[in-house]
Amino acid sequence: MIGQKKVKDIMVPIEMYPTIQKGASMLDAIIRLHEAVKNAPPNVPPFRAVLVVDENKKVIGKVGHFAILKGLEPKYKDLFDVEKLSRINLSSSFIETLFEKFSLWHELPIDLCTIASQNKVEDIMQPIEESVEENETLPLAIHKIIMWQCLSVLVKRGNEVVGILRTSDLINEIENCILKECAKSLKKGEKNE
C-alpha cells in the first residue's frame, strides 16, 4: 500500500545520483548526465538531472533538461525570472510577444559548443530550496511535489542529504500498486461469477 511506504523506501540514494562540482561548465554537466544515463542499471528510470555540489560536497542545486534548454539562450537570466513567470498562467500570445520583443533565439546559427562550454552550472542550475524527510509518507511527499511543481526533490535525514525522490520513481510505485490492486479486484470478480 502506498500510504504505508516511506520516502526512503523508493528514493535514489545520493551516492547513486550523478553529481558535478560547482564551477564546472554546462558541457561538463551534459557529459556527466549522458554517462549516468548510459551506465544506469536497466531497471532504474533514466536520470534527468545532475546534482551540483560545492567544495564540501553539499548539494546546492541541480541541472536538468529545463535548465540546459534555458542555458542555451543567455538572455533569459538577464531579462526575467522564469521561475516566477512559470507560476502564473501566461497566454501564448504574451509568450510570443516576449519572444519577439527581446529577440530570443534570434541569433542563428546557435553555437551550441561555445554556449555549453562557457556557461557555468551555477548560472543555470535550479537552486535547491525544497526537501522532504526520509521518513515522510509517500502521500505527503506527493502532495509537496505537486504544490512545489517540481520533478524531483532532495531527501534529508535531519540536515544531511541522503537521496533524491523523483516523480518517475513515484509513478512507478503508484503504477505497481494500482496494477496489484486491480489484479486482486479482477481475481475476486472472477471468483464471484
Give tens-digit pLDDT for 130-165: 899 999 999 999 999 999 888 899 999 998 889 999
80/99 Cα distance (integer angstroms): 12
pLDDT on residue 77? 63
Region of residue 23 (left: phi > 0; alpha: psi -120 to 50; beta: else)? left
Strand-by-strand arrangement of the 59-64 sheet: 19-21, 49-53, 59-64, 126-127
Please give the model's pTM, rounded to 2 decimal places.
Answer: 0.77
Ranking 18-32, 70-84, 137-151 by mean pLDDT, the lowest is 70-84
Instruction: Return the sign of the alpha-carbon dihedral for residues 188, 189, 191, 192.
Output: positive
Mean pLDDT across the chain: 84
> With respect to CATH, is domain 2-72+110-192 assigned 3.20.20.80?
no
Q: Which grid cell sits at 193? A: 461469477
87/128 Cα distance (integer angstroms): 17
pLDDT on residue 155? 94
Q: Which grid cell sits at 153? A: 526533490
pLDDT on residue 185? 73
Q: Which grid cell sits at 24? A: 564546472
Task: State pLDDT tens for residues 104-139.
Answer: 666 667 788 888 999 999 998 988 888 999 999 999
116/118 Cα distance (integer angstroms): 6
Domain locations in the chain? Answer: 2-72+110-192
Q: For the residues of 4-50, what is the DSSP string, one character each?
A: G-BHHHHPEEGGGS-EEETT-BHHHHHHHHHHHHHHS-TTSPPP-EE
